Every structure is written in structure tokens, then in C-alpha cells.
Structure 1
Amino acid sequence: MLRLHPALTAGIAAAALAACARSGVEQPSAPPEPALAAADQNITVTGQRVEAPVTMAFPDASVAEMAPVQGIVAAPSRTAKYAPLMEQRFAPPPPPQGRDRFTATPENPFRVASEDPVSTFSIDVDTASYAFVRASLAGNVLPQKAAVRTEEMINYFPYDYRAPRSAAEPFSSAISVFPSPWSPGRKLVRIGIKGYAVEQASRPRANLVFLVDTSGSMNAPNRLPLVRQALSMLLDRLHPDDSVGIVTYAGTAGTALEPTSARQKARIRAVIDSLGAGGSTAGAEGIRQAYALAARNFDPKGVNRVILATDGDFNVGITSHDELKGFVERERSKGVFLSVLGFGMGNYNDALMQALAQNGNGAAAYIDTVAEARKTLVDEATSTLFPIAKDVKIQVEFNPARVAEYRLIGYETRLLQRDDFDNDKVDAGEVGSGQSVTALYEIVPVGGPRVIAPRRYGESAPTPSTGGTAGEYGFVKIRYKLPKSDTSRLISTPIDRRSEVARFADAPEDARFAAGVAGFAELLRGGRYTGAMGYEDVLQIVSGARGRDDFGYRAELLQLIRAAQAARSLPS
């Protein structure tokens, strides 16, 4: 039987209490053993490592028979007693669940086409929601409903839409109509957009400033260490003529690296690798300094962008969303854009991240793994950093003679007023090089199963016309500006009934896949409009439309759907 010397027992207990106090773990109200001897005075605590010389008595065992006791390893000395280096690791407390901050937005309702036929929204190519959902399900926990943004789930995946011919008209569109897989009698309208892909050799020069949160909240393996890996990956994608500056912020903000040519990768990487975490979070001051650094190195012919890497926990200086939004809006008008990379769970402030990215003319991504960093900053670097169009808006007018009701699936935080569409002063989304964007509407054809009961007075279905619009469900308009222009351009196309198929199985493969992703997202949000559809139905749709999957993203989705079936809800 293994016996520990009383001094060792007391030393371990004392060191444990000291380490708990340092890491914020609640200390036990009483030691586990009531009669402990005085603690060994030679115990030292460094971070979460406890080191102590110990004395062990093994009267009935040889050295060869000694076994570790709960991670404690003894090494023999030259004397009858053993004084090895003692190490005990105390795990940090698990991150809190359900305390991440999201903006709760109700799902878009059905609208009556004869009363409100026009739907307007801003393009969204963010993908943060999908990665956060994945991180939640990896912990066997369903995400908060507010964390699920259907359009970001859909647009996480690339789609094989026809590419536009030139940068002069940077979009092509793909429209299809097919039966809804969850509501008999209803139909889905898929609007797909493909952006022009800029060749790497001809892309503009990049003036980038990395703004890195180095506060104490970033001191976790999935935060600052992952930031360092992500930025190092992005550095490898830059051209020699590009430049990189680095600003950090914790209790105060400061410049860690003046704008430096990307030729000097070793120098830049050394600064990235030296970043450490500690202190409070003066995020607003960091943002100011990063924009000032970008302005000093401003390239009127290039891309000027601040890339913020943070968990969004701003608690020093200006913390008002409205004040921060106003600041990045003003800087946007000067030609410096803002992209946001989110890290961590437990106190992740998605609400602020979305507000900053949307008002800074940039995308918001959530980095939960090294693979996601590679996807965002290596595989999709040109689309992440180099826009082909800004202030991109979509407006759909439905034909009341053919459509009784409709709803836009997702895009709740991107809705615009009808008159915003033609107003070039109204900000909207940005589309990067080669990006694809997908939007889905669910419609109830005239004569189909209504969701909204007709009014008693004054409502009657329009009579189908026999003119040129008789074969149209609606009309799609896309308004956009080229990156260096302040004047918008317009392209448009009808939603022709000739693009309709009678069976869901006959719809284009990408359209069916997008419908499956939408169904999954809507189930995670509560399934208000998905009828009797369940996760097994979604699995069948997605697996049947998986198609080309070069990077395995679609295969991963199948695993996430299976994980959602077994995941538990967040504790109340």
C-alpha cells in the first residue's frame, strides 16, 4: 500500500488552494482531511504548476513497484527517502455556457403579396453563425436560438453558380423555383449570385492593420494562441507589395508594429508570435489607433482594411454600440474598411462584432479551429479581403396574381426599407472576389395553402394577367457599387415560371442543398414554419444533394446534423 508523508499531504493541499486562488476557482470551505500537518515551506506555485520537494515512505515496495498516484510521480534519490520534483496541474474552470451575447431577432413572417409585394434586404456574406453553431455542437450543446442566422448557415458553403464574364458587370444570377421540402403546396425561390473572381496577380495592393485583443479574456487556447496561428496563415497569402501593421489593446492600446512590407515576413511573424494576454479591454482606443495607422499608410488605389481579432469583450473606454458604429461608419466613408474575426466561447460578444462588421463594410467570421482559420484566411483570402462590389442590395417584387404570400428565409438583421433600395446613401453589404451568395424565399402560390387568413373586408386575389408578366412569380433587382465608386448600378431578372420544376428531386443540386441547410438552421431556431420536418429529413436532403465537396465542408454538415439530434439544450 502506498503511503504519503504527512508533510507532502499538507503541501499538496496548500498548493491546491493557492493555485485555485490564482485561477479564480472557488476554494473548498474546508480541507478534505481534518488533521493535516504543517505545509512544507518549500512549495512554489507558478501559474498552474505546483512544485514541491516531497518525502515518501515505501516500507513494503521497491522502486520498480512504485506507481503514480493521481498524476504524482516519484523519482528515487540517493537516500532512503525520495525527493522528486512534484508537479500537479489544476485545470481552469470550464467556460460558462449560454452567456455569449447575441442579438435576438424574430424570424421573418409571411407577408400578403397583394398588400406588401416588395421585399428589400442587404446582401450578407458573413459566416460567423455557422462556425459558432459547430463549436456549440462540438460540446454536445445546442446553440442559443439567437446564435443561428439562417443566411450565414447557407452562405458558409460555396455554390457552383455560373461565373460572370468580366469585372465590369461583377455578378451573375441563378434563379430556380421548386416545391418546398417541408410544406406541401408551398414553393421555394432560390436566388443565387456569383461574384467575379479577381486573379491573384491582378488584385490590388493591400494595406492591412491587424488589431489584436490581448486582454485577459483572450488568455485561453482557443483565443490568443489561435489568433496567432490565424494571422500567421494570412501573412503567408500576402504579396510582397502588401503591408502589415499591428496594434494591440488590453488596459491600454499601442502599436506593436508600424506598417511593414510583407516581404519582411520573419519580422512580422516575430511580433505576432510575441503577443501575450493580460489586463482589461480598451477596445475602442485600439480601434482608433488601428484606423490611424491604416490612414497613415493609406493607398488610394489599394484595399485599406483593419482586421479585428477579439472575443468582443470591450469593457474600458467607449463601450456603446452606437458610438463605436458611428466611428467605423465615418472611417468607412474615408475608404478604410473593417473585418472582424471572433474567437472564444463563454463571453463572446457577437452582437458587437456584427454591428462593427456591418457598419465597417466588412465580413464577420468566427474562428473556432485552425481549419476554420485556414478556410477564412487562406482558402478564401481573396474573397475575405478584396471586394468586387459594395453596398449590394436585393429587391424582389412579387406578382400578386401568382403569389398569395411569401417570406424571406433569414436576413432578419439585413432588412431594408423599400425606398432604401434606390438611395445610394444607404449602406449595404459587401461581396468579395469570387464569392457566391444565396437567398431563399418561401412562397404560397395563389390557390395554395394560406398561412395568413384572408381579411373579411376588402381583400381579393388579383386576376392573373395575360400580358408579359403573366408567367412571372416576381422580379429581382440587384443594386451595387463598384469598390471605388459612389454611384450604384442596377441589374435585374424575372422569376420566370419556366424555371420551375414540379418535383423537389428535380431541382438543381445546389438549390436542394441550400434548402437542406436552411431547414437545419430553421430547426435549430425552433422550426416555426418547417411543419413536421425533422433532423432525419434534413439529413436525407443534404446527403442527397451533397455534390462536389473538395474541402469536406458538406460532409462535416452531415455530422453536425447528427450531433444536433443528440445534443442537449443549454441549462437554464
Structure 2
Amino acid sequence: MAHRLRVLFLTTVVAAQTGAPAGARSELAVSDGPTPEACAALGFQVQPTADSYAAPRHFGGVAASQVYPAPLAPPPPAAPIARSKAEVQELVVTGGRIGGKARAEPRRVVAPVYQAYPSQPMDTERYPNAQANPIKRVADDPVSTFSVDVDTAAYSNVRRFLQDGQRPPSDAVRVEELVNYFDYGYARPEDRATPFSSYVALAPSPWSGERQILHVGIQGFDVPRAEAPPLNLVFLIDTSGSMMGPDRLPLAQKSLSLLIEQLRPQDRVAMVAYAGSAGAVLAPTDGRQKLKMRCALGVLQAGGSTAGGQGLALAYALARQNYDPKAVNRVILVTDGDFNVGIADPSKLKDFVSDQRKSGVYLSVYGYGRGNYNDTMMQALAQNGNGTAAYVDSLQEARKLFRTDFTKSLFPIADDVKIQIEFNPAQVSEYRMIGYETRLLNREDFNNDQVDAGEVGAGASVTALYEITPAGAKGSSDPLRYGRAAPATGGGGELAFLKIRYKLPGQAKSQLIQRPITQAQLSPTLRAAPEPTQWAVAVAGFGQKLKRDPRVSDAFGWNDILSLAQSGRGADPYGERAEFVQLVRLAGGAWAAGEN
């Protein structure tokens, strides 16, 4: 049944977005790659290959319809990159920094051909283990503080599991990343100097009778492309053996080709590849030389172990060597996160990228593959490297990230963005934040400009949901016999107070936006709430059901999520909401037994 639903879903979505009839070839073609002859004229030896990308599908753990590229004849070996002992020591990463004077000497190299990497078992994927947020009493802890999260990796990864007929591991479901996958149409700010507008709504909870859902959103200023600063990018490409397979290196190459299409003459790209060791593949090249960039991508082949730490060191060194204070300086890492040579400990890599973010170089992490995907590593890098994380499960997702959301992904409008909400104990007795378990901050961190937080790109939005218990309603625990006296009435009709703190790019001092949250934002029923709120609550309910969160009543079932999503679906120019509805149907159909 899952197989039939998946095939119907894929052909329907592709037909809707491309105008092709259902059943037509589902591959969304990227422009044809460069010819071997054209690349040879530029010094790159690219082997011709057929377009053989087809995402592997797993139904009940059994792979089906996997198509892998035909083996390539090995190209002539590249000249070795000679370095003295001292130079090698200069590129050794120790703990959280590069020792000595790190150098990056860009050279054209042809990646060596290795023997096939052993296939990975299906149970080696790794995810951060984060405990669900507890219900908090406002009388004891009235303030909630967190770093924003614009990552979307969890949504596309969850989609991959569901479309493969599998239930995702609970730790793979980060509810805030599911919610933030979607655009909610918040009103956009008009002033670049104040780069955020805010949205607030309140409605009854659909899974807990006496509680309410507080919906908070912020919308970032959308920088016109003509006014966006230049890009100084370093592609850091994992070419280890674990990147074999059509949903790994070949898909990563097509993804980066989509990004290359968007470059302007003033933008620059350098490339570093790493397997058992790291080497520069392309010196900084301006956006007019797209053929040269594609040829550099075309020489890459997968094989060997994974010296990810060494690759990161070289990529950052290259970014600093060509640093432009007027540009967006960013390392773009494409990998499955399976680091197994050199620095492979997420905590040590966390120290390293934390140190590197002080140089003003951003980090974007794009995950690929399945079976050995290391989400723990990806999150450690993105959250500590002034960066973002996404998971690319298909060429369609690559188009969203590198074409539709290009400016959101690459052009930051604010750094260290934090949100703090103070609840009024006269109006609210309890609250529970839905998601953001790995993004929580201490109350005092909000005003501390030394504490790192998330970046927000041009035109991006951030959404957060709280489940709150109004004062006087039955709470999750009995009141204390000898506790504090009931809070005095105060704050007028204010339920809470919202604060947003951020830094403009390149600035060290933060700025503040604030506003009250009042009863005026309350809708009498969830169906009477604005469409963005209905949709956000549907997605949050979906995520919590996948996680089997006990705070979500069993009476709130998959059909309720489906009905709520249909009611709040609204505009859907890219078919993303239609896709979500199909995912709800897949989940409800697969696990209907024993669940609603």
C-alpha cells in the first residue's frame, strides 16, 4: 500500500508542478552538464555519464528501484600536492582552532578512483537526543528564551522516511523544523534598518480541551537581489566512499549546479574536496565562469575514508585567505556527516567551528544520503558555526533550497537572533514550548551579546508555538499548599510580552524589538483563527504525533490533522502544502492500527 501511495504521490506532484501528465518521467532535469571536450580545454578531465539519478526507495527496509551510475574509467592520476613537514603541521586541527598559519593553495585535481565503499547498514543513522520541553508553571518560571531556528533538515528527512514506508525515529522529528519549512505569508517589514515584523495569534488547542495555542512569528526583510552584497563562497564537498550512490554525490553535484546558475559576475566560488585527505579543486572564480565551476564539479568521484575535519580546516583557511568584508563569506558543506578520519567527535568539531565563526565566515550544511546519515554531526556544525542546516532528499528539494529560497539560504539580514517571552501570571498559569529543545537559552543569555544564536536570511521567517493554560483553568499539577500566594491581577489584558533581539550583520551590539501579547489576539475557535495559525498548528500536531508525544491527546488523530490542514491550507504556489497533506495521509494510513 505504501508503495502504491508513494508512486501516485510522486507522479501527481511532478505533473502539477511541471505540467507533465501523471506517469511521465519524474526527474526534474537540471540543465545539461558541460561536455568533456569543453572541460578538457579548461584543464579538467570529466568523464561522460548518463543521467542516472533516481532516489532510492525503501519499503519496510528493502531497497527498490535503485539506479547507480555506470563505473567510470579511471582518469590519469593528478600530480601530488607536495608539502613540507612544517606545512602539513600548519593544517592540523587541534581542538577548536587551526594551529599555526593555515594555508590554502588551490590546485586543479582529479579525484582518485577508489574501490567501492561498503554499503551501510540501515541502523547507523545518528540523531541528537533531546528531551521534550516540560510544562512550566508561570509562577515559578515566567520567562522563556530561545535562539531562532530557520533550519529545515528535519522536514525533508521525515518526508524521506514516510515516502519510503518507514516511521521516522523520534529524535529525527524536530517539530520546529517541520513548522519552519513553510512560508506563512507574514507581513514584511518595510525598513531594512528594522529587519523584522512580528505576528501573534491565539486559539484553542485542538488536542487539549482547556488549553490554548500561542502562535508567534517573525518575518525578515527581503533584500532585493540587485542590492544583495557579493558572495564569497567555498564549496566543501565530501567525496568519500560513503557518498557513493545517486542520492549522495551525484545529487550534491546537481544541487551545487543549481546554485551556480544563480551567481552574478561579482560573486566568487572556490572548491575543496575531501576523502582520505583534503585538496583544493578550484581557486576563487568569479560568477562569469560558470562552465569552469561545473567542470570542477564534474571531476569529482566518491571513494575512500572521510577526513571531514581536515576538509573544514582547509575550507575555512581558503575563505579567510580570500575574505571580503563587503561580501557574504560562507563555507557550503555537502556531506552525509559520516566523518571517520581525523576529527570525528562532534564535540571537538563544535569547538572548531565555534572558533571559526569569530572570523566572520558563515557555514551552511547540506545533508545527503540515507542509512549512515549523521544528523548529530550536522546539527553540531550548523548550530555552532553561525550556520544553517538542510537535508536534500531529492532534486526537487535542491531546487527549493538553491533556486526558490536562494536569498533566504545565502544572504543573512541578522545574526544572533533571540526571542524572549514573559508570561503574565495573572492571565497564564502554565506554558509548554513546542519544539526548539536544542535551541533553548538561559534567561540572562538574552541580553548577553556574547552568546551565539541563529542567523536569519533575507525574506526568511521564524515561527514558534506555545501551549498555554489560562489562569483559572485546570493545570497539569495541583497548586502548592504552602506555595506562593495567587498572583495579583496586573498587566491589564496582557497575556505576555514579546522581545526580539538581533544584530545587523557585522555589528557587535544587538538591537531590540518588543510588543505586548493581549487577549485581542484570541480567536473563539481554531477554525476561526487566521489561516497561518491553523496551518502551523496542523504541522505541529503532525510532528508531535510522529514523536508519540503523550501531551497530545489520543482523541486528536491523523484525520483531525488532515482536516485542520485542509482548512488552513491557503495559497500554495509551489505545491508544498499539497505534499504535506499527502504525508499526513501516508502516516495515517501506515499507522492507523492502534492510533487515530
TM-score band by shorter chain is 0.7 to 0.9
Shift of 1:320: 1.9
Equivalences for 1:66-215 in 2 at 5 Å? 96-215=121-240
Q: Of 266, 275, 278, which residue of structure 2 is paired with 1:250? A: 275
1:409 aligns with 2:434: yes
Q: Decide whether the 8 Å contact of 1:177 with 1:189 is kept in 2.
A: yes
Q: Decide whether the 8 Å contact of 2:117 with 2:241 is kept in 1.
A: no
Q: Secondary structure at the match of 1:413?
A: coil
Partner of residue 234, structure 1: 259
Structure 1 unaligned spans of 5+:
1-45, 50-90
Shift of 1:436: 1.1
Partner of residue 533, structure 1: 556
Partners of 1:365 and 1:498 in 2: how far apart? Answer: 36
Partner of residue 39, structure 2: none
Q: Secondary structure at the match of 2:132?
A: coil
Q: Decide whether the 8 Å contact of 2:527 with 2:567 is kept in 1.
A: no
1:321 aligns with 2:346: yes
**One-letter code aligned to 2:467:** E
Partners of 2:237 and 2:426 in 1: how far apart? Answer: 54
Identity %: 52
Partner of residue 493, structure 2: 471
Partner of residue 274, structure 1: 299
Q: Decide whether the 8 Å contact of 1:241 with 1:262 is kept in 2.
A: yes
Q: Decide whether the 8 Å contact of 2:216 with 2:465 is kept in 1.
A: yes
**One-letter code aligned to 2:551:** Y
Partners of 1:464 and 1:97 in 2: how far apart? Answer: 56
Q: Of 526, 529, 535, which residue of structure 2 is paired with 1:513? A: 535
Q: Secondary structure at the match of 1:172?
A: strand
Q: Decide whether the 8 Å contact of 1:193 with 1:438 is kept in 2.
A: yes
Partner of residue 43, structure 1: none
Shift of 1:288: 0.5
Partner deviation per Cα, 1:456-485 (whole Å, 9 max, x = no partner): 3214431323xxx12011101000000110
Q: Secondary structure at the match of 1:407?
A: strand
Q: Secondary structure at the match of 2:407?
A: helix
**One-letter code aligned to 1:518:** A
Partner of residue 566, structure 2: 543
Structure having the higher Rg:
1
Partners of 2:366 and 2:447 in 1: how far apart? Answer: 31
Partner of residue 433, structure 1: 458
Partner deviation per Cα, 1:27-48 (whole Å, 9 max, x = no partner): xxxxxxxxxxxxxxxxxxx969
Partner of residue 286, structure 1: 311
**One-letter code aligned to 2:248:** R
Equivalences for 1:424-463 in 2 at 5 Å? 424-463=449-488
1:483 aligns with 2:508: no
**1:486–1:291 distance in 2 versus 1, CA, 3 Å:** same
Partners of 2:349 and 2:254 in 1: how far apart? Answer: 28
Q: Decide whether the 8 Å contact of 1:171 with 1:196 is kept in 2.
A: yes
Partners of 2:423 and 2:168 in 1: how far apart? Answer: 34
Partners of 2:450 and 2:117 in 1: how far apart? Answer: 49
Q: Secondary structure at the match of 1:485?
A: coil
Q: Secondary structure at the match of 2:433?
A: strand
Aligned residues: 480
Partners of 1:377 and 1:363 in 2: how far apart? Answer: 13
**One-letter code aligned to 2:227:** S
Q: Of 338, 346, 371, which residue of structure 2 is paired with 1:346? A: 371
Shift of 1:366: 0.1
Partners of 1:140 and 1:471 in 2: how far apart? Answer: 48
Q: Decide whether the 8 Å contact of 1:398 with 1:475 is kept in 2.
A: yes
Q: Decide whether the 8 Å contact of 1:140 with 1:566 is kept in 2.
A: no
Q: Secondary structure at the match of 1:300?
A: coil
Partner of residue 71, structure 1: none
Partner of residue 417, structure 2: 392
Shift of 1:223: 0.2
Equivalences for 1:6-21 in 2 at 5 Å? none
Partners of 1:445 and 1:553 in 2: how far apart? Answer: 34
Shift of 1:428: 0.2
Shift of 1:527: 2.5
Q: Decide whether the 8 Å contact of 1:112 with 1:452 is kept in 2.
A: no
1:501 aligns with 2:484: no
Q: Decide whether the 8 Å contact of 1:179 with 1:188 is kept in 2.
A: yes
State the TM-score, normalizing by the size of structure 2: 0.79
Partners of 1:540 and 1:527 in 2: how far apart? Answer: 20
Q: Secondary structure at the match of 1:374?
A: helix
Partner of residue 52, structure 1: none
Q: Secondary structure at the match of 2:245?
A: coil
Partners of 1:93 and 1:509 in 2: how far apart? Answer: 48
Q: Secondary structure at the match of 2:588?
A: helix
The more displaced of 376-385 and 560-569 is 560-569
Partner deviation per Cα, 1:125-181 (whole Å, 9 max, x = no partner): 000000000000111000000000000000000111010011100000011111111
Partner of residue 327, structure 2: 302
Partner of residue 373, structure 1: 398
Partners of 2:183 and 2:372 in 1: how far apart? Answer: 30
Partners of 1:302 and 1:433 in 2: how far apart? Answer: 14
Partner deviation per Cα, 1:351-382 (whole Å, 9 max, x = no partner): 11011011111110000000000001110010
Partners of 2:316 and 2:576 in 1: how far apart? Answer: 34
Equivalences for 1:542-561 in 2 at 5 Å? 542-561=565-584
Structure 2 unaligned spans of 5+:
1-69, 74-115
Q: Secondary structure at the match of 2:355?
A: helix
Q: Of 347, 352, 363, which residue of structure 1 is paired with 2:388? A: 363
**One-letter code aligned to 1:210:** F
**1:94–1:321 distance in 2 versus 1, CA, 3 Å:** closer
**One-letter code aligned to 1:185:** E
State the TM-score, normalizing by the size of structure 1: 0.82
Shift of 1:262: 1.4
